[in-house]
Chains A and B, each alone.
Chain A
Amino acid sequence: MNGPDERKVKSLGELPVAIEPPRDLWPGIEARLKAPVATVAAVSPRPAGARLAQLRWLAAAAMVASVAVGVWIGREVLPLSGGAARAPQSATATALPASPEGAALNASYVSDPRYQRQRTELLRTLQARIEAMPPPARLKVTASLATIEHAKEDLERALGKDPSNALLQELLINTYQDEMRALTDVHEASDPGRGI
């Protein structure tokens, strides 16, 4: 519904070519452009705690990014070939963390469903595979798998104390890759008619 001062426009030609603003807006714009940063900060003040939290988030994001790059390097650039299983993209998703800090780190890893599926499947049949081996091999293989488990725990514990340590992150990823390789070798070694 139109107001009393309004009238219906029947064609574009009836509209004015330009409409002047009621006041000059430029001085205000110019003043704000030239204002020092401190003034801007003063206009939208942010508490120090919020800035710290933002920094923390940025640091966490950087860590996740660096782990992702590390995982990518581990998978694509430094593969142990020879038919070994694909390396994990997610390093610690199924392992029990050694500490709350370790749990926080675990949460930062990107999960790879293929790796999880493959590892779960290999672990499901592991005992039967080991029992199919010659007795001397059984003991050695069991000891080696325990060694890997201890290595993972040690690394996760150390990472719990120093979560951003790139060396430990790399070694942990290596260890997960080595675990997959060992599990795959054990699996193939006891596969009847196939050999390793």
Chain B
Amino acid sequence: MRTFFTLSAAVIALGASALSAAETYKPFDKQVAAQPRGIVEISNTSGSVEVTATDRPEVVVHGELGDGVERVDVTSEPDRTVIKVVLPSHSSRDGDAKLRVQVPKDSELHLATVSADASITGVLGVQRLNAVSGNVTTEIAGADLELKTVSGDVKVRGHGQAARLYVSTVSGDVHLDHGAGDLETSSVSGDLLLSLNSARSVHARTTSGDLRFEGKLTRGASFDAASVSGDLNVRASAEGGYAYEISTFSGDISNCFDARVDKKSVGQSLSGSRAEGAGHMRLKTMSGDIELCDRN
């Protein structure tokens, strides 16, 4: 009998805590007119943001707002629409809001989140995306991208159209697929996994994260990557080839074209040229290993 009471009490306590923990969401909807190439700014602390594109000159916001959210402000000016999730002052930043936003496809998108994850599809304009710990997934076309996170992971999918891409994280990983154009990317401890259809310039830097690059370089392209302890693995073909300079202080260098690595008492280096040597490839590490291949 005593066991029965103990179990019942435990079940009741669990149910009560589950009820108190379950957050209730209230819906939010708003639609405003917007210019086809205007700026759309979205900020959300926690939860999620999903941005899709439309052909219509309007911004449509649908939200599911958690208990901790005070309101969502949507303000519309001639060339700028601002969507801001507002938490009560002195809030501990855990008011979840799940936003779904439709924007004109040529909009310039500015997005800032703290822990909210963000996903963007179909937006053709410039994107400036910032997150602290939220993950960001986006699709790009030919417009510039500036994406920064602190610990959030980044996934960028391109369509092979040249653009200027700047992606940086502190501890998040960066995945870039089918990019093109000019890429500048960096991470401290995150890995950089990059695939570019045609790169004009690549500048990549990590402290301890690994870099893996696979893709084609345009004629005369420059590729510059450096790491302290991360490994660099580059498989890059280029029209006209490239001159390469590779050096490491205490790592190992290898290549797929049987070039002889110069092994000194301290460090290794490798330099030479593939094909006409039209482009430039520079890879450097302190203790990370370096592998270069001119075939994809």
Within 8 A of A (CB), among B172-215: 172, 184, 186, 188-189, 203, 205, 207-208
CB <8 Å contact, A144 and B189: yes
Which stretch in B73-81, B146-154, B270-278 binds the other chain?
B146-154
Contacts of B266 in A (CB 8 A): 161-162, 165
CB <8 Å contact, B112 and A195: yes
Contacts of A60 in B (CB 8 A): none
CB <8 Å contact, B133 and A134: yes
A interface, over-half SS:
helix
- B247 CB within 8 Å of chain A: yes
When chains A and B are docked, how far (Å) is the Cα of A165 from the Cα of B268? 12
Contacts of A143 in B (CB 8 A): 171, 189
CB <8 Å contact, B130 and A137: no
- B286 CB within 8 Å of chain A: yes
Please, which residue of chain A has its CB at the minimum distance from the CB of B284?
A: A167
When chains A and B are docked, how far (Å) is the Cα of A24 from the Cα of B224? 69
CB distance from B39 to the nearest CB of A (A): 15
When chains A and B are docked, how far (Å) is the Cα of A84 from the Cα of B226? 18
When chains A and B are docked, how far (Å) is the Cα of A70 from the Cα of B69? 50
When chains A and B are docked, how far (Å) is the Cα of A78 from the Cα of B203? 9
- Known: A81-B166, A140-B171. Is A147-B184 also a contact (CB below 8 A)? no
- Known: A165-B249, A182-B188, A196-B112. Is A171-B286 also a contact (CB below 8 A)? yes
When chains A and B are docked, how far (Å) is the Cα of A140 from the Cα of B208? 13
17 A–B contacts from the bound complex (CB under 8 Å): A82-B184, A84-B168, A134-B114, A137-B115, A137-B132, A140-B150, A147-B188, A148-B207, A154-B286, A171-B285, A174-B205, A178-B207, A185-B148, A189-B114, A196-B131, A196-B148, A196-B150
A-B contact sample (19 more), CB < 8 A, given A82-B168, A170-B226, A182-B170 = A78-B203, A133-B133, A134-B132, A136-B133, A140-B150, A140-B189, A141-B171, A144-B171, A147-B189, A165-B266, A170-B284, A171-B226, A174-B228, A185-B150, A189-B130, A195-B113, A196-B131, A196-B132, A196-B149
B: residues with CB less than 8 A from A are 43, 46, 93, 112-115, 130-133, 146, 148-152, 166, 168, 170-172, 184, 186, 188-189, 203, 205, 207-208, 224, 226, 228-229, 247-250, 266-267, 284-287
A: residues with CB less than 8 A from B are 78, 80-82, 84, 133-134, 136-137, 140-141, 143-145, 147-148, 151, 154-155, 158, 161-162, 165, 167-168, 170-171, 174-175, 178, 181-182, 185-186, 189-190, 195-196
